[in-house]
Amino acid sequence: MSAEQVAEPANPPRIEATWEWLCRAVDHIGSPAPGLSFPLAPASADGLGPAHCAVLVVPPVPQSAHIARDLIRRTLVDRAAHERVEDVAVTVSELVSNALRYGRAPGAEGELHPALWLAYWDHWSCAVCAVTDDSDLVPVPVEADELAESGRGLQVVSALSDSWGWNPRADGGKVVWALFGL
C-alpha cells in the first residue's frame, strides 16, 4: 500500500497524534492476549501524557460486536458522558463487524481473530479505538441501497467519531481506527 492510500483524519482534532501513536503501539506490541487490559506507558513519547489501553481478541462469533461494546462501556463508563460512550460503543461494533466480515487475507484459511484496541488519555479527555484485521483491502464507505439491511457501517463510523481512518500494519493487514473527544 502506498502512502497515498493511507487515510488521514478528515477533521484532525487537537489530539491528532493519538491515532498515529496507537497504530505504532499495535505494530510494536503485536497480537494481544485475550482480555488484556493495562497501562501502555507512564508517559508517551509524543507528550500526550499517560495512556491507558484495553485490548480484546475478538472471537469469530456473532456475539463479538456485543462483547466489544461491553468492553467499551465498562472501560469508559466513568470517563465520558453517556452519549459519547455510546458513540464509541456503536463505532466499535461497526469496526468489529467489518473486521469479521472482510478481514481475512486473500487465500487465508483458518479462523479470524481481529483485535480491538481502546486507548484513552485522561489528561486529554480523548480516546482512540482501533480494530486490526489481516486483510489489505482498503475500507471505503459505500452508498448502500436504501432498503439494504447492511452496508452503512463506515458511514456510521464517520458520523459518530471525530475522525477515522486506517493504516497498514507492518506484518500485513491493517488497523482501522476512530478518534473521539470525550
pTM: 0.72
Residue ranges of alpha helices (H) inside the chain are 17-29, 64-76, 82-102, 153-160
Q: Note the pLDDT of residue 105.
A: 67
DSSP at 47? S
Q: Which domains does the chain have, with CATH numbers?
A: 3-181 (3.30.565.10)
Cell of 116: 480491538
Q: What is the pLDDT of residue 169?
A: 80
Predicted confidence band of residue 38 (pLDDT cuts 50, 70, 90): very low
Beginning with the edge strand found earlier in the chain, give each strand of the sheet holding 163-168 in spatial order: 37-41, 51-57, 115-121, 126-133, 174-181, 163-168
At residue 158, the pLDDT reads 93
Mean pLDDT to the nearest integer, 25-48: 44
- What is the average pLDDT value for the chain, to the nearest integer? 72
Residue 123 pLDDT class (50, 70, 90 cuts): low
Three cell numbers, residue 22: 496507537
Check residues 154 and 150 and name the one with the higher pLDDT. Answer: 154
Give 88's pLDDT tier (boundaries 50, 70, 90): very high
Q: Terminus-to-terminus CA distance in the chain, angstroms? A: 32
Which range of 23-32, 69-78, 166-175 scores highest in mean pLDDT? It is: 69-78
Q: What is the pLDDT of residues 50-78, one digit of tens each?
A: 567 777 777 778 788 899 899 889 888 88
pLDDT per residue over 129-150, tens digit each? 888 888 888 998 888 777 767 7
Rounded distance between C-alpha atoms, residue 170 and residue 84, angstroms? 31
Radius of gyration, CA atoms only, the chain:
15
CA-to-CA distance for 129 and 94, rounded, in angstroms?
A: 12
